[in-house]
Amino acid sequence: MRLATWNVNSIRARVVRTVDFAVRENIDVLAMQEIKCKPEQFPYEAFEEAGYHVEAHGLNQWNGVAIASRSPITEVEHAFPDMPGFLKGHEGPDAPQEARALGATIDGVKVWSLYVPNGRGLDDPHFTYKLHWLEALRAYTQRTLAAQPDLPLALVGDFNIAPTDADNGDPTVVEGVTTHVSPEERAAFQALLDAGLTDTVRPLVPTGYTYWDYKQLRFPRNEGLRIDFILGSSALADAVVAAEIHRNERKGEIPSDHVPVVVDLELDGDADDDRPMIF
DNA sequence: ATGACGTTATTGTAACGA
């Protein structure tokens, strides 16, 4: 299985580019974030003509997540348990959930397409929301892997955290000043790893960014952030044989500000695993 | 210069992003 994640920053604005990438790169499962539309507005036809099933979860013009897959998509969920909600001016336990998580099972792999809240500012209610959201995700992960230690679980998407200083090349992103690099966010990311997940890309692609702001020549200057990840349980991480960050997708006409991240998995029963058996 | 850049709501202006 070739698994990818991409914050597309509007699927309607970039459907041709997105499908072209999936086909050209032979992607089996593409998790998308920031589709910025409701399901009835999603350009399903372009994906279906290219051989993909699609599940989309969007409530309005904000956020929105989707999964395109060559194999059938089952066990679809629109939130993980206890996922907090948010509504500006109506913070609290009763705030409605946003379209930031889509879970599904594909060829035995449990995949979550995740768009972690931005945080907006260190003193903003959205920052508290971000930390609560990540804690609920950690708790879900820990419970799930305690019950099913051998589950191939993939948490993929835009985590809106640069886990180490090496993941921050943007001079305007500064610890103590902006989100994405605070000790609290980094601790929340580490807690996810401690719950049984591995960053499956870093060992194979040790450097590089996945996002560059549209403003101030950030991409030509290569002043980006590494904030998009493919995290996997041990069963999933052990199956990773290759990983890529597709920096070139930040080039050309109307690019997203994020680029795709891809892993190749060799799972038991892979139909395309044609290597000879050697004893 | 409280903006730069881009998308979506909408059609003048605001929210949101990281």
Helical residues (DSSP H) of A55-208, grouped into ranges: 125-147, 183-194
Is A118 annotated for ligand binding?
no
Q: What is the pLDDT along chain A (279 residues), one digit of tens a residue?
A: 999 999 999 999 999 999 999 999 999 999 999 999 999 999 999 999 999 999 999 999 999 999 999 999 999 999 999 999 999 878 788 899 999 999 999 999 999 999 999 999 999 999 999 999 999 999 999 999 999 999 999 999 999 999 999 999 999 999 999 999 999 999 999 999 999 999 999 999 999 999 999 999 999 999 999 999 999 999 999 999 999 999 999 999 999 999 999 999 999 876 555 556 666
Among A261, A273, A269, A277, CA closest to A109 = A269
Integer CA distances (angstroms), A252 to A64, A163, A190, in order: 24, 28, 35
Token pair, residue A46, equals 């372009």
Catalytic residue among A158, A167, A170, A228: A158
Span CA (A41) to C1' (B7), Å: 15
Strand B atom within 7 Å of A47 CB: no
Report the run of H or E that residue A4 belongs to, with start and end.
Answer: strand A2-7
How are beta strands A2-7 and A29-33 bridged, if at all? parallel
Amino acid identity at A204: L
* Domains of chain A, each with CATH number or no CATH: 2-265 (3.60.10.10)
Strand B atom within 7 Å of A87 CB: no
Enter the pTM of the model. 0.95
Question: Which residue shows structure tokens 């401690």?
Answer: A194
| Residue A90 annotated among the catalytic residues of the structure | no
